[in-house]
Chains A and B, each alone.
Chain A
Amino acid sequence: MGAGETILSIKGLHVEFPISIGTVKALQGVDLDIVKGEVMGLVGESGCGKSTLGFSIVRLLRPPGRITSGRIDYRGRNVAGMDEKELLRIRGRRIAMVFQDPLTSLNPLFSIGQHFVETIRTHDRAVTKSRALEMAGDMLESLGISRQRLGEYPHQMSGGMRQRIMIGLALVMRPELLIADEPTTALDVIVEAQFLDLLEELRGRFDLTVILITHNLGNVAQLAHRITVMYGGTIVEVAPAGDLFRRPLHPYTEGLLASIPNIRLDRPRLVTMPGSPPDLVDPPAGCVFHPRCPRAMDVCRRERPPSVSGDGRTVSCWLYKEVP
């Protein structure tokens, strides 16, 4: 994947949430490139900043969250500096999102058809309502839902159907980048597997680039070409999926992979990582992971580790002067 065209380039991104007891430093200098056509898995535990990163890309941080510094270059234009008008041309049209909970992501008072018509006509005034409904019907049918259901309301649909409708709404304007924020967390295992298959199929059909945000390593193992591991508002490691699972470099990644439940007899106990995620109002000095790191050294407590890259992977850890 290394040779592809970079469509999204994030540099030095800082995001803060001022709250009553201080400021949550949700992202502390994130660098990430997304290559056309890839599926980038974004993993980490709750509160590590993976969703914040996803929402920053389309500037949909909930107030009081704000980008304090850094750039988000989408095809050469800095999204972080765009005005509202420019943003609206990108959101939904070039970069689309699907969310965690399909049950609550559709407006209960709007029919499925109304959702589609509104989205299509927001981006293209020239499309008539009947034409928009036709496009919506085609989209539903390509997702395996009868176009008869356009007149129905969200509460008349099952969870899996609503998730497919959400993805149909996201794709109806043919965006090139899809950000999927924990898209299967609210679905049961069977529907989840079907959804991931569908996502893979749609990626091919719509020529999509996907950022798949999840805490489920199984999901990314199945779909992602590359994986970004986040911890405490920073990126600790980026690597091609196979390499990451075979040979994790960062101690946090190692711990994460070791804690995947395994039913083999030689590992009877569930492996856990000691400690808890860092307090991002007052993050630890040096490497944010050092309080939990089994291999922490003196320098880790004092200074933030630099990122080292090579061989298609990047790691931020004092253990490495270069990628081994």
Chain B
Amino acid sequence: MGHLIRYIVARTLMTVPMVLILLTIIFAVLRLMPGDPVSAMLGGHAPEHVIELKREQLGLNRPLHVQYVDYLWSVCRFDLGDSMVLQQKVTDIIAEKLGATIELTVFGMLVTVVVGVFLGAYAADRRRTLGDSAIRLYGIVVYCIPVYWLGLMLQLVFGVWLDWLPIAGRTGPRVFPSDFERTGFYLVDTLLAGDTESFFDVLVHLVLPAFTLGLTLSGIFVRLTRANMLDVLKSDYILAAESRGIPRRRVVYRHALKNALIPILTMMGLQVALLMAGAVLTETTFSWPGMGRLLLERIYLRDYPTIQGVIIVFALMVAFISLVVDIVYAVVDPRIRY
């Protein structure tokens, strides 16, 4: 176990330079982007001295390296500045939306992994059967479909034609989040408040967005799991396990899948970035009040501090999840140690 703890500490320390690089890239990109935040704020026709004054207020007339150090220091203090549009702290705006996005991405990821890994393993076990072909076709088709198109189609089928599921928002018209809102994770909040009716309302609202996001990403997991499983199923230890009389199903779903999951875990870490990007589109399609939709709104309004803040939070989430993935990886595979 000592090895494992050493690995976790080492891996966590490695996150620090990674986050620093991410923050630097965000800083640089936002300042290299075309368009001047001050003229965007003031409408472009403001007199020269007003613009100068605003620049001074925002600290934009200082040398870049001073701004950079100042920026890093602010991030360390969890201070992401104030919105240029509304008189609100960026951290407050994000805190309000973070729960919605995390709820969506967690359930999206769940759908991706369950659907992708299960279908992939099944296809590998039944190689060259009709089921395998159907699953491979599914993998390719779903991989090609844009998130928003899939979202629209699911809305059309399950929301409009069948009228089974709501197509927008986190709650229905008779549910008021202010009644139970505490952490921003509505599923948790409604449970804490003991409000089962609202809990189910929140849950059905989550279904379509989570499946839209999850199914889109499941394609790559189907193909990856299938390919890994086929490889693993050829291993000597699979044959050896079967020769000891272990039932095929157990051999496939315990011995083989556990080994096939190692590269899939890595992929999961890498896919988190894609998941966040998908969340932006899914939130827009489903009027989901999360960080993705916030980002899009504020890009239209050129609210630079908010844009920067949202991207920083996304980046931190990606860094954090890849850290978690790497730790899980080490727990699963006894061969991985520093």
**B247 in contact with A88 (CB, 8 Å):** yes
Chain A residues numbered 47-105 whose CB sits less than 8 Å from any CB in chain B: 58, 60, 62-63, 84, 88-93, 96-97, 99-101, 104-105
A107 — which chain B residues lie within 8 A by C-beta? 237, 241, 255, 258-259
**B332 in contact with A105 (CB, 8 Å):** no
**Any chain B CB within 8 A of the CB of A306?**
no
The 8 A CB mask of A161-188 against B (1 = contact, 0 = none) is 0000010011001000000000000000
**Any chain B CB within 8 A of the CB of A122?**
yes
Q: How far is the CB of B235 from chain A (nearest CB, A)?
A: 6
| Distance between Cα atoms of A118 and B332 in the complex (Å) | 18
Q: Is the interface of B mostly helix, strand, loop or mixed?
A: helix
Q: How far is the CB of A159 from chain B (nearest CB, A)?
A: 13
**A104 in contact with B335 (CB, 8 Å):** no
- With A104-B236, A106-B237 as given contacts, are A96 and B243 in contact (CB-CB < 8 Å)? yes
**B245 in contact with A119 (CB, 8 Å):** yes
**Any chain B CB within 8 A of the CB of A153?**
yes
A92 — which chain B residues lie within 8 A by C-beta? 243-246
A155 — which chain B residues lie within 8 A by C-beta? 334-335
B127 — which chain A residues lie within 8 A by C-beta? 63
A90 — which chain B residues lie within 8 A by C-beta? 245
| Distance between Cα atoms of A166 and B248 in the complex (Å) | 19
B255 — which chain A residues lie within 8 A by C-beta? 107, 110
Q: How far is the CB of B117 from chain A (nearest CB, A)?
A: 16
Chain A residues numbered 297-320 whose CB sits less than 8 Å from any CB in chain B: none
- Chain B interface residue count, CB cutoff 8 Å, equals 22
How many A-B residue contacts, CB cutoff 8 Å?
A: 77
Q: How far is the CB of A206 from chain B (nearest CB, A)?
A: 16
- With A97-B243, A122-B244 as given contacts, are A104 and B237 in contact (CB-CB < 8 Å)? yes
A111 — which chain B residues lie within 8 A by C-beta? 334
A97, closest chain B residue (CB): B243
| Distance between Cα atoms of A170 and B243 in the complex (Å) | 9
**A99 in contact with B247 (CB, 8 Å):** no
| Distance between Cα atoms of A153 and B335 in the complex (Å) | 8
**A166 in contact with B240 (CB, 8 Å):** yes
**A109 in contact with B333 (CB, 8 Å):** yes
Q: How far is the CB of A43 from chain B (nearest CB, A)?
A: 21
A261 — which chain B residues lie within 8 A by C-beta? none
Of the candidates A92, A100, A101, the one having the most CB atoms from chain B within 10 angstroms of its own CB is A92
A91 — which chain B residues lie within 8 A by C-beta? 242-245
A122 — which chain B residues lie within 8 A by C-beta? 244-247, 250
B245, closest chain A residue (CB): A92
30 contacts between A and B (CB under 8 A): A58-B243, A60-B242, A84-B247, A84-B248, A88-B245, A88-B247, A90-B245, A91-B243, A92-B245, A96-B243, A97-B243, A99-B243, A100-B236, A101-B236, A104-B236, A106-B237, A106-B240, A107-B241, A108-B259, A109-B258, A109-B332, A119-B244, A119-B246, A122-B245, A122-B247, A122-B250, A153-B334, A153-B335, A155-B334, A169-B240
Q: Could you list 15 further interchain pairs (A-B, Cβ under 8 angstroms) beyond the known A97-B240, A107-B258, A108-B259? A: A60-B242, A90-B245, A91-B243, A92-B244, A96-B244, A99-B243, A105-B237, A107-B259, A108-B237, A108-B334, A109-B332, A119-B244, A119-B246, A155-B335, A170-B244
5 nearest A-B residue pairs (beta carbon)? A92-B245, A92-B244, A91-B245, A97-B243, A104-B236
